Amino acid sequence: MTGGQKKGRKKFWRLKKKEEGRPQDKILSKDTPFYTKEAYKALRTNLIFSLPDAGSKVIIITSASPGEGKSTNSLNLAITFAEMGAKVCLVDCDLRMPKLAGLMSQKGVPGLSNTLVHLNSLEEVLRHTKYENLDCIYAGEIPPNPAELLVSEKMDEILTSLRERYDYIFLDTPPVNTVTDVSLLAGKANGTVLVVRQGVTVKEDLSEAVHQLTFVKAKVLGVILNDTVQNGSKGYRYDKGRYAMEESSAGKKAEG
């Protein structure tokens, strides 16, 4: 991941491609390559300087479309923030296709949805993890009305309680272009990070995602380019509100 710092542009971070394997293999661990760990630390630093100094922070991690690595990046970011001693809570707000419980090899029920419909207390769904300073709330049972639950007064109460307990709350949400959930949650967060994946994300889809977030006045903190190749000079940038490739010979697919 690399951070773009030019004035007037959204920040942009690049994450090098790792070997394919189980999703759990992409979670940060003692076996993770040094450059990957340092990339997440650099992203952590950039995010800290992009957020208000005082108070607890709520950060949305999302993507334009499915399959771009938002859940893995949400978890790795949460781990990286917890490693510096901050109290961190990671919440799976993807109530349609939850992934975090599987990544953590834990049961996802009861979870957020159960608390939103008053079946379980917040204490009952908060899960301690093997990572010091990191707790999780998994999605819970899949409800028939996810969007309505995420904008309910109960969701506001949950976030208020979490802000009182944690320094950083990461919300792993559904993709922007798939459902309205992210747009509905944007006003509850301090900022949003978009995850895109080389060879998967389509430029037009990313542009639409940025448009949707801008329309609801979400603060886009930056973009993570996931699974980039190590050689080559292609990349992406945000320039004056539009998405553009750094090379004029851009194809239809996102390439790093």
Q: What are phi and psi of 251, to 5 degrees?
A: -95, -175
pTM greater than 0.85: no
H helices present in the chain, as ranges: 34-50, 70-83, 100-103, 112-116, 122-125, 146-150, 153-165, 181-185, 203-215
224: helix, coil or strand? strand
**Burial degree of 109 (CB within 10 A; 0-12, 13-18, 19+):** middle
pLDDT in tens, 173-208: 999 999 999 999 999 999 999 998 887 888 899 899
Element (H, E) at 134: strand 134-137
Pairwise CA distance, residues 52 & 191, whole Å: 10
Do 157 and 116 touch, CB atoms closer than 8 A?
A: no
Pairwise CA distance, residues 196 & 67, whole Å: 9
Residue 160 burial (CB count, 10 A): 11
Q: Which residues pair with 229 in a beta bridge?
A: none
CA 183 vs CA 64, 178, 210, 219: distances in Å? 12, 11, 11, 11
Domain 11-245 falls in which CATH fold?
Rossmann fold (3.40.50)
Low-confidence ranges of the chain (pLDDT < 50): 1-9, 19, 232-256
242: helix, coil or strand? strand
pLDDT at 116: 98
pLDDT at 254: 43
Contacts of 177 (CB under 8 A, 6+ apart): 64, 65, 205, 208, 209, 212
pLDDT in tens, 196-248: 888 788 889 989 999 999 999 999 998 888 876 555 433 333 322 333 333 32
Angle at 99 between CA 187 and CA 142, to 5 degrees: 75
CA 102, distance to chain mean position in Å, is 16
CA 189, distance to chain mean position in Å, is 12
Domain ranges of the chain: 11-245
